[in-house]
Structure 1
Amino acid sequence: MDNSADAPSQGRRLWRWSRWQVIGIAALALLALAISSLFADDGAHTLDRGLMLALRTPGTTDDPLGPKWFEDVMRDMTALGGIGVVIGSTLVLCGWFMLRRRLGDIAILAGSLVGAQVLSAIAKFFISRPRPDLVSYEAEIYSASFPSGHTLMATVAYVTFAMLLAADVGDRRSREFLLGVAWVAAIAVGVSRIYLGVHWPSDVLAGWAIGALWMIAMSRLIPRLQWRHG
């Protein structure tokens, strides 16, 4: 029997597994690097301090590098991971799902975000890492430093949005585009947290890593997130 017709689907399946394996390995590496900084002198690795100071004007740690308008852009980026924006965008997407009678997707979305928030809260409670003391904060802070909650929630929220929307898209390139946009948003949030001086770089690495690992777990447990088409 000629199985050539099955080759494209088999290739896509292998690519999907390979992609998630690469993401998982990268996430574990980032998490290991982030955790290692917790055992360094003063609770922050030398690389953490160096990167933080490299983003400030020499001799004036209160002034981030770049023009004032760029600082405003970074504040806009960091807001993408804020609880207000995440909840607001989640409610909008839930409204869309309700109109389309996709109650299962609402449950998946809620479970994904609640689970990520629980993971963040547990890590912050037990690790209780202080916020960076090298620079003046450019945004209000309310919790411990490790991991970056904004980064973790942005990663989980936007990747979940993309995966649920992509589940009904037949074209692979369109699905990859949606997922790519989600990761760009997550990366932008993390970079902005470092730039604004409210997190150590390792806090952000942990946020990306934990978020990625949580999404891998979700995608393995929930068929809806595996982009299977009839």
Structure 2
Amino acid sequence: MHNFFSIHISKKLLYIAMMAGLILVYFFIFIEIVEELKEGELIEFDKILINFIQVPFSEQFISFVTTLTFFGSVTWIVVLIGIFALILALYRRKQLALYLIITSAMGGVFNWGLKYLFQRERPDIAPLLSVSGYSFPSGHSMASVIVYGSIAVVCLRIVKSKYMNGIIWFLAFLASLVIGWSRIYLGVHYPSDVVAGFVAGAAWLTISAWLLRYLEYKGRKNRS
């Protein structure tokens, strides 16, 4: 019995240490990007990547990429989260429904706060769309990581197949990557905006997933 509790506590401590370490890694990467941004050392890097990514260049492909980028928009996210939350509520998984809603909503507030804090103007390097608002970090990129990642977190608690969970996480990763790429291609974000959005989104997703796990643990403990 003593060995069982020792192993259980060790696993908990290891999990907490891993989560804390991961959040610190995201934090330091974000701070490094901010430092480079303040020193003006990202402009050349951003220009090179934008020129590289904006190929091929045709009206049909621009239309296709514009469709892709919609899947990181506020409109789509509200609809998507609303559908998933409703389904979860109908199946009496209200905690998971609230997790999706709160994580996505607070992630949006977090992104707005970061944009207001840094107030970086959008790129004027061959923009293919007219978009208002500040540029850093990319809201679409940050939202895609948070929203598709939080849906994957929920699926992890419902879908029992490790194979299916692996596919779900891969699709969430791919969706985020494609949406981030689309923002660069359309010229509405610098590559550094997109990377910063990915990092900030991953940090927020990690924190929210840890809080969900903690609340689930407290709930089980109170019921026992």
Q: Same fold (TM over 0.5)?
A: yes
TM (normalized to structure 1)? Answer: 0.79
Contact 2:23 2:207 in 1 (8 A): no
Q: What is the letter of the counterpart of residue 46 of structure 2?
A: D
Q: 5+ residue gaps in structure 2?
A: none
Structure 1 segments, 4+ long, off by >4 Å, are 12-26, 224-227
Q: What is the letter of the counterpart of residue 210 of structure 1?
A: A
Instruction: Output the CA distance in 1 between the equivalents of 2:65 and 2:32.
Output: 25
Instruction: Output the CA distance in 2 between the equivalents of 1:71 and 1:16.
Output: 44
2:75 is paired with a residue whose SS is helix
Matches within 5 A, 1:210-221: 210-221=200-211
Is 1:185 the counterpart of 2:175 in the alignment?
Answer: yes
Identity across the alignment (%): 24
Instruction: Output the CA distance in 1 between the equivalents of 2:189 and 2:76.
Output: 19
2:121 is paired with a residue whose SS is coil
Instruction: Output the CA distance in 2 between the equivalents of 1:219 and 1:30.
Output: 20
Instruction: Output the CA distance in 1 between the equivalents of 2:120 and 2:35.
Output: 13
Contact 1:112 1:160 in 2 (8 A): yes
Contact 1:220 1:226 in 2 (8 A): no
Give the superposed CA RMSD.
Answer: 3.2
Instruction: Output the CA distance in 2 between the equivalents of 1:76 and 1:13.
Output: 43
TM (normalized to structure 2)? Answer: 0.81
Q: Which one is further off, 13-22 or 214-223?
A: 13-22
Q: What is the letter of the counterpart of residue 133 of structure 1?
A: D
Matches within 5 A, 1:91-102: 91-102=82-93
Instruction: Output the CA distance in 2 between the equivalents of 1:97 and 1:162.
Output: 14
Q: What is the letter of the counterpart of residue 205 of structure 1?
A: V
Shift of 1:75: 1.5
Larger helix percent? 2
Deviations 1:61-113 (A, max 9, x none): xxx31153333332222111101111111111122112212221121111101
Instruction: Output the CA distance in 2 between the equivalents of 1:181 and 1:14.
Output: 30
Instruction: Output the CA distance in 2 between the equivalents of 1:153 and 1:89.
Output: 12
Matches within 5 A, 1:30-69: 30-41=29-40, 44-55=42-53, 64-68=54-58, 69=60
Matches within 5 A, 1:130-169: 130-135=121-126, 137-169=127-159
Contact 1:169 1:175 in 2 (8 A): yes
Residue 174 of structure 1, aligned match among 148, 164, 167: 164
Contact 1:132 1:199 in 2 (8 A): yes
Shift of 1:203: 0.5
Instruction: Output the CA distance in 1 between the equivalents of 2:180 and 2:162.
Output: 27
Contact 1:35 1:202 in 2 (8 A): no
